[in-house]
Amino acid sequence: MSLRVSFVLNGESVTAEVSSRTLLVEMIREHLGLTGTHVGCDTSQCGACVIHVNGRSVKSCTMLAAQAEGANVVTIEGVAKGGILHPLQESFRQYHGLQCGFCTPGMIMSTLDLIARNPDPSEQEIKEWLEGNLCRCTGYQNIVRAVQAGAAAMSASSGR
Amino acid sequence: MYKFTYHRPTSLSQARRILVENAEAKIIAGGMTLLPTMKMRLAQPSDLVDLSGIDQLRGVRDTGNALVIGAMTCHADVAADPLVQTGIPALASLANRIGDAQVRNRGTLGGSVSNSDPSADYPAAVLALDSVVETDRRKIAADVFFTGMFETALDENEIVLSVIFRKPKRAAYLKFPNPASRYAVAGVMVAETDDGVRVAVTGAGANAFRATALEEALTEDFSPSALDGLTVDGRDFNGDLHATPEYRAHLVMVMARRAVIAAGSN
């Protein structure tokens, strides 16, 4: 079944002709050309596909494009503003929270959701929140450090 | 995935009509089970009826001695809801440990309950809290709701609207999670109600069930030592890569003991 799906993506209205079977990650990558969101496992485990839909982090490989009709969608491309890295992205860079970078967009999008709900997460809370994001390179320790530093930087810049 | 027609009705009557008119139609709630199943080509619905456009199915209401939770309420919202955190904290805690954060943002109570996955967490709570599943046709008591592996008492095209959770005096849910999926290898909810103690087990058998011997012992004496020497019959328990039936039977007693300790400290 062919259908037209429209939503707001990184602040702009977008629309595409897709199939009812088209996954949201497919629509984002292949129809809309934003390839920062990755398909890792395609089975809801690895989190490389995590984006925000209506303010919540979700696994875009486990959503139909049709389910995002009318939604507010944010991908990794929508995080840095005006070519300047978001404080969380800067922390990942500074604390070497990535090596190959494949899991990184998902880590960032997942972490942004965590920090929005819990601006000062403990190490344990960070580790538990990121259970849905797998990394094959780093061993996670630098990711946790990057999240801690990023959360602190975000608090500082918002004047908390 | 195989081909299907996607619908997003804006009313229950519209949803019902689509289900009735299409013999192979299926409801999609959060899609956290259905979509992976369809992607593996293990399900082939002709039509998907997305209930996310029906607002009346979401939310938490406090009726005094119970919480009524809408079927389309996602796990993250149940976990974060102040009414649940104060009214039935064990339920908030259970919801907060389903899957992972992203699964909790999409997965729903109604979807979990309708699916009766042998390893799902919610069925243990529905059973232990002596809940009532409210559908578009009737109310179904928890004790008769879960009938088999992926089987419930729901009729064809019956739509779950909400679950009515009675507030217990005290309760706790402990599970031994699969380290990868975080599904319950064995999960036990212990709840002290006005009518005595209920103990519901998930992860171990074909569906969630009550451990009546444990209930009797705990009703007499709500303490971990009341469980000494008691066992559950693991002969029909699930055995797989993750645990043998015997190990699951062992885990059930360990989780039950821990749940009593956790509930006792409420």
> Rounded distance, CA B97 to CA B91, Å?
10
Distances (CA, A) of B39 to A117, B35, B43: 31, 6, 8
Kindly report, residue by residue over B67-109, the tens digit of the pLDDT. 999 999 999 999 999 999 999 999 999 999 999 999 999 999 9
Note down the domain range covering A61: 2-78
The continuous run of DSSP H or E covering A151 comes out as: helix A141-157
ipTM for the assembly: 0.97
Interface test with A, best of B100, B104, B183 (most A CBs within 10 A): B100
At residue B46, the 3 state secondary structure works out as coil
| Nearest residue in chain B measured CA to CA from A56 | B105
CATH of the domain at A8: 3.10.20.30
CATH of the domain at B36: 3.30.43.10
Q: How confident is the model at residue A110 (pLDDT cuts 50, 70, 90)?
A: very high
Q: What is the mean pLDDT of chain B?
A: 97
- Do A65 and A23 share a structural domain? yes
CATH of the domain at B195: 3.30.390.50
| Nearest residue in chain A measured CA to CA from B77 | A56
Q: Is residue B112 part of a domain?
A: no
CB contact under 8 A, B5 and A69: no
Interface contact A17, partner B, CB < 8 A: no
Note down the domain range covering B4: 1-50
Q: Is residue B78 part of a domain?
A: no
Q: Is residue B165 part of a domain?
A: no
Quick check: B129 and B160 in contact, CB under 8 A?
A: no
Kindly report, residue by residue over B1-27, the tens digit of the pLDDT. 999 999 999 999 999 999 999 999 999
Interface contact A86, partner B, CB < 8 A: no
Please calculate the CA angle B60-B64-B68 and round it to the nearest 5 degrees: 30
Interface contact B31, partner A, CB < 8 A: yes
- Do A99 and A73 share a structural domain? no
Q: How confident is the model at residue A160 (pLDDT cuts 50, 70, 90)?
A: low
> Rounded distance, CA A88 to CA A146, Å?
7
pLDDT at A159 over 90: no
The continuous run of DSSP H or E covering B39 comes out as: helix B34-39
